[in-house]
Chains A and B, each alone.
Chain A
């Protein structure tokens, strides 16, 4: 199978970064569940959700290749735009200090407190722990599945690099979780979301354009132009938002 690295490289990067952010958020809750209620059921819940997510990718990914590429690009590109610009909007507002940054340490403390308040089962199967781990892994994982399937559907041979990007992110987050054994609060989550939002918006625009029959100048190279364009627009938006709310502008450190 021929791999077009102009598509495959950014696809893998976008899938890796987006998945990394989602898995970091899931890790925080799984750590809280494991610490408060026990590791067996916490890991079993996450494991069951990961298997379910892999089945969804295995079914949806190849199924999309049966639909004509132009139709897939138009629909998936439109969904990618909605998804990517939602992320980018939030990252812009966070960078400008309009909405609060996501704090993994706070999320861990809140989740732990809630779990301590629930009845703990000794010796038996802890349904609360299993369900909490399963739910967070499914919730964050379904976003990863959408990104992998959507990025993989944009062209021939892209499902593999998108899947590899997501799997690499999963492996890295699991390794970091095992090593540091606490929430990854120092990860610059908003910067990652900013970059992912830019990448997904650029790919979404490109694929919608392809689906509409637009002939892009420079063909595939215009993806790089779209990435630069969305990055520039996002910076302008951050500056404008900061000027619109001078009293609320805060220094963003570490994210």
Chain B
């Protein structure tokens, strides 16, 4: 069973290194899917909304990591 556990953790680590980053990305994708489906008026801006959220998540995550590093 150990090899199954190792293989699974290796597979997960392909996509998740910082749990908060992965959760934020998935939450944003879910939220975007729900909100954009309800508001047709956002149609021309849908792609921009998706990108801006992901960009903000990346900047916040790296900045938070850098700030945490300064505190050490």
Name A residues whose Cβ lies closer than 8 Å to a Cβ of B.
78-79, 81-83, 85-86, 88-90, 92-93, 96, 98, 139, 142-143, 146, 201, 205, 208-209, 212, 214-217, 222, 226, 229-230, 233-234, 236-237, 240-242, 244-245, 247-248
Contact = CB atoms under 8 A, between A and B. Distances in A.
Interface string B30-72: 0011001100000110110011001101110111011101100
A88 B58 contact: yes
Q: Which of B43, B61, B63 has the most CB of A within 10 A?
A: B63
- Is chain B's interface secondary structure helix, strand, loop, or mixed overall? helix
B64 to A, nearest CB: 9
Interface in B1-53: 10-11, 14-18, 21-22, 25-26, 29, 32-33, 36-37, 43-44, 46-47, 50-51
Contact of A85 (B14, B47, B54): B54
A217 B51 CA distance: 13
Contacts of A81: 25, 29, 54
A240 B11 CA distance: 31
Contacts of B58: 85, 88-89, 92, 201, 233-234, 237
B61 A245 contact: no
A143 B16 CA distance: 13
Contacts, number: 112
A215 B55 CA distance: 19
Nearest to B17: A86
Interface of B: 10-11, 14-18, 21-22, 25-26, 29, 32-33, 36-37, 43-44, 46-47, 50-51, 54-55, 57-59, 61-63, 65-67, 69-70
Contacts of A146: 14
A143 B70 CA distance: 32
B65 A98 contact: yes
B54 A96 contact: no
B63 to A, nearest CB: 5
B60 to A, nearest CB: 9
A86 B66 contact: no
Q: Which of B22, B25, B57 has the most CB of A within 10 A?
A: B25
A139 B29 contact: no
A217 B43 CA distance: 10
24 contacts: A81-B25, A81-B29, A82-B22, A82-B25, A85-B58, A86-B16, A86-B17, A86-B18, A89-B21, A89-B62, A98-B65, A98-B66, A146-B14, A209-B47, A215-B46, A216-B47, A217-B44, A217-B47, A233-B55, A233-B58, A241-B65, A244-B63, A247-B70, A248-B69
B33 to A, nearest CB: 5
